[in-house]
Chain A
């Protein structure tokens, strides 16, 4: 009896704004992360709409070059740090305790603090548009010496990056400790759902590389204001060193954004193929191998910087090698589908599109890993196409699929399947119309990060812009479906997907406030 009374007291929490400000509950914090991410997704998406409007035809129509550079820079920065990463952390917060049979995250207060740093950083980034000189316009990669020329918004960006990094490191530590210590009895490491595995490995990547980013932007700050010359050749520094340090962070960062997406896909495909994931063990090793290799390939972002033959060859070979474990993952997904009992609900559609389109992004990655070919394609629209295939049809579409997949669990209601499918098809088709032509633009010689272009690029750009407007507008359907699902809908029941097997489906929908108050036994 005492235990129950104690339990009930724990269920009490403030309501209204104070609930969200003071919450230490993993599900509330997960929800905050996801809403924050969606807000930033729409903000950065709106910037992309202006970019595509300017690129609709040659000449300057909508914005001047200075503003254009601000838009591309902030679109990249906000999508990466504001939309994709927080969404994945939102999934981690919601799902990891549910999937390992824990009552909450290991450090609930740290969890609260990790989240509430984000709006602070976002405010700095968004408000930097309104300071004299406008927001940061040096590209999300912040290369000096260009970065040194900027105004106050460049310092605001450095501060924002520090805050975001702090949030990520704390979130990552929390995730690692939770997974290693709060697993239900019998939940051995090799029984963890693959989503949990991908996040465990991602969290180690975060802890390893966010300090690298923090140090390199601090060096930028001291170069800007305190007379150091880390990156100034005239003072004995080296602008190329910045790029080496930045990409030591930047390449693992790419995998930070894709590995949890692999985890989401590896949850969805077995459910709707009504088969267990094929090659679970090799999937775990493949994720670990990709993570390890991600530390060893950074300079493939720098082939045109100029380095010795041996350096170029090493980074080329190491980069090509990544396609082996990545291939293993794709083969395993296809093998999971093989002789399954497949149905095509919205999450599955997103997952299948992910497998096809992410693979296209993987292929274009292999193409640019070849040094001579990269010499032609570096800093062109081909690269823009490549990273949108891995980050939009990769990470972002996996996130959308994951939202549809777990929304019934999170809200207790089924989402609107018809609208979900409309959202999927519009997104998938408009995405390809937007980004596939960019491969051709890059091959034909259009550099990226330009507000205006030569006439032979005009038709593909117009097509791409039209696709982008549809793509942007389609996301409003997503917002509507999510809100509608939260407000009501058919009862989901504990296990709305008959093929779903992990622990969260043993709980009610929505799950109790403290998830697993009694640890489940895993056989």
Chain B
């Protein structure tokens, strides 16, 4: 093991450990330090952070013990007279040069970590991470496996109508699954605005920028579930796009990957099926909860004027084609995204059917997945023909 356990190697850190790891309950209720790291970079950051904090603490004492001594002993109220010394070349030179040397001492180990953390070469696998308002999409490059990861905390917990669960706001419907002991390279981009993918235990935080690709990497030591959040303000639901990474041993990962592929094949088969109206509405409600409710609200009233109501909307109650166009392509320049790229044909059919048959909208029309497929193909042709 290349890693040094911080609490067993340095006496100062041991003291810090004792100071900071008061009873376990206090640690849980009042977390005082970085989350326990599970990657080599995470450990390096943890050590650097501890070192720099002790250095700062030391300097603080060196500066402020004399100051408080002066405040106590050189008070006017005890009759202390001012001694008029206004410069001291040696002292002034020293307190310029010594901090500079301390900085060099800090910079050297830090530089090594920067170089190490930027080295994304020779990965064992690569996952593309796409930030969207307000969810993450993961694509295992070369594996044809791709899915969205949405907040799984029910809205009732957020609005205080239900007790909050243990992982309130830090739980998703589909976590990112990765193998342990493998160098995983992540490439980041975004669909709409800038997001930031951050999992503290992995020591990875990287902005996801629309139109650009950035990368980072990690190699998880321990199997487990690691949680994080979007760290760049990305609009209304910035607080509600968590990240959950499940690290499993490589053999389990292989099983999981196969399972994903089977399910994708099943989903494709499902798209050619004919569904009944209630079935579509029930499925659509789930899709709506995951993708639409933040802006258009559970009651379909939206938050005008930024987010228009769907209840009684002309688009929603009008021809299917128009409704589908908006859902499929989004509305450029607004928060309405192009869901054609994100959702499956079944999901789009379901959510459209749901919107057309909920609240005061009673069209009675069931939109089938094959209609979505036909629309998708016609769109692709349009693009191919250069519109």
Contact = CB atoms under 8 A, between A and B. Distances in A.
Given A133-B305, A145-B192, A444-B35, A330 B63 contact: yes
B106 to A, nearest CB: 7
Interface of B: 28-35, 41, 44-45, 48-49, 52-53, 56, 59-60, 63-64, 66-67, 70-71, 74-77, 80-88, 91-92, 95-96, 99-100, 103, 106-107, 110-111, 113-115, 117-118, 157-160, 164, 166-170, 188, 192-194, 196, 198, 200, 203-207, 209-212, 214-216, 227-240, 303, 305-306, 333-335
B67 A274 contact: no
10 contacts: A146-B194, A149-B235, A275-B86, A278-B88, A312-B118, A339-B83, A360-B60, A376-B49, A379-B233, A440-B31
A451 B82 contact: no
Contacts of A343: 75-77
Main secondary structure of the interface of A (DSSP, over half): helix
Interface residues of A, number: 96
A479 interface: no
Interface in A316-355: 316-317, 320-321, 323-324, 327-328, 330-331, 334-335, 337-344, 352, 355
A371 B114 contact: yes
A363 interface: yes
A240 B209 contact: yes
Contacts of B166: 455
B118 A309 contact: yes
A510 interface: no
Contact of B99 (A145, A304, A324, A340): A324
A341 B35 contact: no
Main secondary structure of the interface of B (DSSP, over half): mixed
B231 A379 contact: yes
A5 to B, nearest CB: 45
Interface string A124-157: 0000000011000111000101101101000000
The 10 A-B residue pairs whose C-beta atoms are closest, nearest first, are: A233-B211, A450-B239, A444-B31, A306-B214, A363-B56, A339-B83, A146-B193, A379-B231, A341-B82, A445-B200
A48 to B, nearest CB: 17
Contact of B70 (A151, A282, A337, A450): A337
A65 interface: yes
Contacts of A451: 239
Contacts of A308: 118
Contacts of B194: 143, 145-146, 239
B231 A312 contact: no
Contacts of A323: 99, 103
Contacts of A376: 34, 45, 49, 200, 203, 205
Contact of B82 (A61, A145, A273, A280): A273
A280 B103 CA distance: 25
Interface in A269-303: 273-282
Contacts of A454: 167-170, 227
Contacts of B214: 305-306
Contacts of B70: 334, 337-340, 342
Contact of B193 (A145, A240, A281, A320): A145
A378 interface: yes
Of A275, A312, A445, A459, chain B has the most CB atoms within 10 Å of the CB of A445
Nearest to A336: B86
B26 to A, nearest CB: 10
B365 to A, nearest CB: 32
Given A320-B103, A460-B30, A370 B48 contact: yes
Given A304-B196, A330-B63, A443 B33 contact: yes
A378 B205 contact: yes
A356 interface: yes
A147 to B, nearest CB: 9
Given A306-B209, A367-B56, 12 more contacts: A64-B303, A69-B235, A274-B76, A280-B87, A305-B209, A334-B67, A338-B74, A367-B53, A370-B106, A372-B48, A376-B45, A447-B231
Contact of B111 (A282, A313, A331, A360): A313
B96 A324 contact: yes
A359 interface: yes
A387 to B, nearest CB: 15
Given A146-B235, A149-B235, A372-B114, A132 B305 contact: yes
Contacts of B28: 456
Contacts of B236: 65-66, 69, 137
A281 B88 CA distance: 12
A359 B85 contact: no
A495 interface: no
A209 B150 CA distance: 41
Contacts of B228: 445
Of A308, A324, A334, A375, chain B has the most CB atoms within 10 Å of the CB of A375
A149 B211 contact: no
Interface string A28-71: 00000000000000000000000000000011110011100100
Nearest to A281: B87
A494 interface: no
B45 A373 contact: yes
A459 B87 contact: no
A149 B235 CA distance: 9
A143 to B, nearest CB: 6
A370 B113 CA distance: 10
Nearest to B118: A309
A153 B59 CA distance: 46
Given A59-B159, A304-B206, A69 B82 contact: no
Nearest to B192: A145
A452 interface: yes
Given A234-B211, A280-B86, A449-B233, A61 B52 contact: no
Contacts of B227: 454
Nearest to A325: B96
Contact of B106 (A139, A281, A320): A320
A449 B238 contact: yes
A192 interface: no
Contact of B45 (A69, A344, A372): A372
B86 A452 contact: no
Given A378-B205, A456-B28, A278 B84 contact: no
Contacts of A456: 28-29, 31
B76 A304 contact: no
Nearest to B197: A304
A469 interface: no
B167 A59 contact: no
Contacts of A359: 60, 63-64
Contacts of B76: 274, 341-343
Given A331-B95, A334-B63, A146 B231 contact: no
Contact of B95 (A327, A372, A449): A327
B237 A65 contact: yes
Interface string A357-372: 0011001001100111
Contacts of B64: 334, 356, 359
Contacts of A373: 45, 48-49, 52
Of A238, A339, A372, A459, chain B has the most CB atoms within 10 Å of the CB of A372
A133 B209 contact: no
Interface string A378-407: 111000000000000000000000000000
Contacts of A133: 305-306
Given A334-B63, A453-B239, A447 B198 contact: yes
Contacts of A370: 48, 52, 106, 110
B110 A372 contact: yes
A371 B110 contact: yes
Nearest to B98: A327
